[in-house]
Structure 1
Amino acid sequence: MIRCKHVYDEIDDEDGPCLLVAASDVWRTFARDLTRRAMLPYYREFDLLWIEQAFDEAWGWREQWLVMEGETVLGFCSLSQDRQALFIRELHLLPEQRGRGVGSQVLETLARWAAQRRLPLLRLMVFKSNPARQLYLRHGFVEMGEDDCFVRMQRVIG
């Protein structure tokens, strides 16, 4: 299994080749395109409209992280937080990188970040029909509610 670390963690010998690196604005197009390709089937399923400008605006106020292995970009994640929770706004891997344990390691890294930031919760929303929902359940997230399209999930940190 791949292990993830991030740039302001203490890095020890248990960490492997997967790294979360702060994404500069030059990565916005990559992240937007990856997100659109991953999410467009769900947008169509639920009759939602993809708006590129909304992604670009959110890019400016969220934390953006590249998921990397050596010099290879595997995907990206986008985060925000309030007083209670670290929110996973986006978590997308390139199709050829899925099923390798990378997503699991990113989730565990983000749980450590929430703990380091003294936040009691890790939260996200996922489309009801997205198979990633099962990944989140396996990593201790519970379903807190839903609407026509999304399931709200959270994991207690502690």
Structure 2
Amino acid sequence: MKMFELRPAVPEDLSFARDLTCRNMLPYYIKHDLLWQDEAFDVAWAGRDNQMILSNGVLAGFFSLSRDARALYIRELQIDQGFQRVGAGSWAIDQVIAITQRERRPALRLTVFENNPARNLYERKGLAVVGKDECFLRMQRDISTHVL
């Protein structure tokens, strides 16, 4: 079993995150006739809470979060191909759920391409489809804020 850890992103992580996202998402962009733009990624990155996922000191992926009064939003969750299907994505979702609970946000939300198999992981983690926009599914998990 691989062990994972988080660390806040630093400016030098931007190119890794951009390249990983492009590599992972380009097939979906092509299939849905969308245009990938490095500049748009960079602008979005600058305004988000970005956390790097490491496995034994090696970058395995990252997630980007944003927040409002209604929810914590996963804007990106990208796992390097060499770390897919070994628990990194599941571990990352668990970390985000814990952050959502700690911050007492009412919900965790994300958007996923309708044909992305990551949807299965999200459903296993308790997120449900709550809407659809063109080629995207909007998913949400309501968070209980009960204190023991």
- 1:63-142 equivalent positions in 2, closer than 5 A: 63-142=49-128
Q: Distance in 2 between matches of 1:157 and 1:70?
A: 31
**TM-score under structure 1 normalisation?**
0.88
Q: Cα offset for 1:156?
A: 1.0
Q: Distance in 1 between matches of 2:101 and 2:122?
A: 18
Aligned residues: 144
Q: Distance in 2 between matches of 1:95 and 1:126?
A: 18
Q: Distance in 2 between matches of 1:147 and 1:116?
A: 30
| Other-structure match for 2:30 | 44
Which residues of structure 2 form unaligned runs of 5+?
Answer: none
* Cα RMSD after superposing both structures: 0.9
Q: Cα offset for 1:70?
A: 2.5
Which residues of structure 1 form unaligned runs of 5+?
Answer: 3-16
Q: Cα offset for 1:37?
A: 0.4
Q: Distance in 1 between matches of 2:88 and 2:38?
A: 26
Q: Distance in 2 between matches of 1:70 and 1:143?
A: 34
| Other-structure match for 1:35 | 21
Deviations 1:92-122 (A, max 9, x none): 1110100011111110110010011110101
- Large movers: runs of 4+ above 6 Å: none
2:137 matches 1:151: yes
Q: Percent identity at matched positions?
A: 44
Q: Distance in 2 between matches of 1:70 and 1:100?
A: 14
**TM-score under structure 2 normalisation?**
0.94
Amino acid at match of 2:59: V
Q: Distance in 1 between matches of 2:104 and 2:26?
A: 35
| Other-structure match for 1:6 | none
Q: Cα offset for 1:74?
A: 0.6
